[in-house]
Chain A
């Protein structure tokens, strides 16, 4: 039984193909300005990687993510909140709190023992604590996204960044740069400020272990470490690329839907 999940985010499009409960292939591509096109490109690449010939090989496809209404070949769409919860818990059954840090949204979701979404919070039209924030900071500091993660782990004496707003944080960072503060300390400070914001979102739903981080920003080890320090718990490292968890959850739901149909 071959199924697919397609997660069209603000920064990247992801597709996952599963066959009888195992991941056959996945792709992550940068989003275009046309969600339909992003979806098709991501899914076509995943189909090719899986050695399949066409969309027709897939029995059911679920779309998710910000562009979920624009996945032309999806049989239905499910919110990314439900999909990330499902994907994270499939990868790691002990997970009860999922922190999804994507390109323009961050969400914290608590899940029950049976995998049901209990509660969620989501940032409100603000880039603080999202991929966009890190992109902006990497630009200001000319260090690249990879560099941000590496630098933040080197910071010995993290600077204090009081603002969680991307725009105001940027001016604070520029002030610090001009005061000659060590770059690694500034970056570590930035990660602390984002982790602080996420920590307060976790506080709203209530922290229950285990905690997993999903979404593209989960690849930033500096952020994961900063978050662990704020939350005072160890974060579970997922056995798959954290960026595909939404698409994976969509594929898992696709499988269920197909089971129900037959």
Chain B
């Protein structure tokens, strides 16, 4: 499935997704800008923006192997963390000035342990991420943000004021609003953008300066909102999962005739379905409330499954989803349990659910194809 979007914007997004230091990052660096890489969508990007830095979500795009990382990480660490750390050891992440890890899961924590000693990033910081989504955790996360802010201020000799934070919040809300507009178009009977293309739009949003990104995204929206869209598909799919950053994976799914119309992914609705309320008070309190309690949560968040299940049900209804594909990186225990629960609930509600284990790099396409094709045959037969 391919739309024939020729827009400049989409091409730039695709390029940013297919590389690490894309032209926008290179330009940013040429102007003397700083880049802060982060390992989890719970990183408050707005703080980096308020400091004048470019927040960059860590990926291992273009990785060819894990042999250097395997000397430090174990073979039961997920392939995302091993490829990512391998890229660090290879020096591919020389363009970041800081790396921030969160205690998302045990795998990514091991990246922090090793990155600190083995990769030459001037600023390496760990944020402790609470496990629950209630009031005390919001306060805890606010404290963590204060620690991050102070560490950045000290290391880079900058001042992150409340005014700059509110400004960053407004800018990032604008990004989220535009991204939701893109998803709005995908609700159409004939969505004007494929799931693979939409993923590259979302990934690019974590790898470009937001102002530049917003301009491009607005341009893309203008162009595709007039388009006729895809009518030639067998089923409308939703994807659930974690750090899926490879549009090629979705292409394999869409080549079988399933059109991906929405998701609950780290590069998807999880990072943009809600806004940070804009105001004048304490910006860190507003951010903490948003990140911990308001956004669709990650399966690592304990006790919040019912809200995630509601979110999926709403998505299925709003986007007229025929089937759900749950992707999981092998060794991810968090998503294993989430898929088990979501699949059970989804099937009980009459929505077919296919669980796919995968490696970070696209491999075993033949078997992936067979699974997806058979799944689509069960939906439309």
Q: Which residues of A contact B (CB under 8 A)?
A: 66, 78-82, 105, 116-118, 120, 122, 124-125
Contacts and interface: CB of A to CB of B under 8 A. Distances in A.
Contact of A82 (B357, B363, B374): B374
Contacts of A78: 373, 377
A117 B374 contact: yes
B329 to A, nearest CB: 13
A79 B374 contact: yes
Contacts of B377: 78-79, 81-82, 117
Interface of B: 357, 363-364, 366-367, 370-371, 373-374, 377-378, 381
Contacts of B378: 82, 116-118
Contacts of A124: 357, 364, 367
A81 B374 CA distance: 6
A113 to B, nearest CB: 15
A117 B357 CA distance: 20
Given A79-B373, A124-B357, A66 B381 contact: no
Given A81-B370, A82-B374, A82-B381, 7 more contacts: A66-B366, A79-B370, A79-B377, A116-B378, A120-B371, A120-B374, A122-B367
A122 B374 CA distance: 11
Contacts of B363: 125
B331 to A, nearest CB: 13
B152 to A, nearest CB: 42
15 contacts: A78-B373, A79-B370, A80-B370, A105-B367, A105-B370, A116-B381, A117-B377, A117-B378, A120-B371, A120-B374, A122-B370, A124-B357, A125-B363, A125-B364, A125-B367
Counting chain A CB atoms within 10 Å of each CB, the highest count among B366, B373, B377, B378 belongs to B378
Counting chain B CB atoms within 10 Å of each CB, the highest count among A80, A81, A116, A118 belongs to A81
A120 B355 CA distance: 10
A260 to B, nearest CB: 12
A117 B366 CA distance: 20
A78 to B, nearest CB: 7
A117 B381 CA distance: 9
Contacts of B366: 66
Nearest to B373: A79
Contacts of B374: 79-82, 117, 120
A125 to B, nearest CB: 5
A122 B366 CA distance: 12
Contacts of B373: 78-79
Contacts of B370: 66, 79-81, 105, 122
Contacts of A66: 366, 370
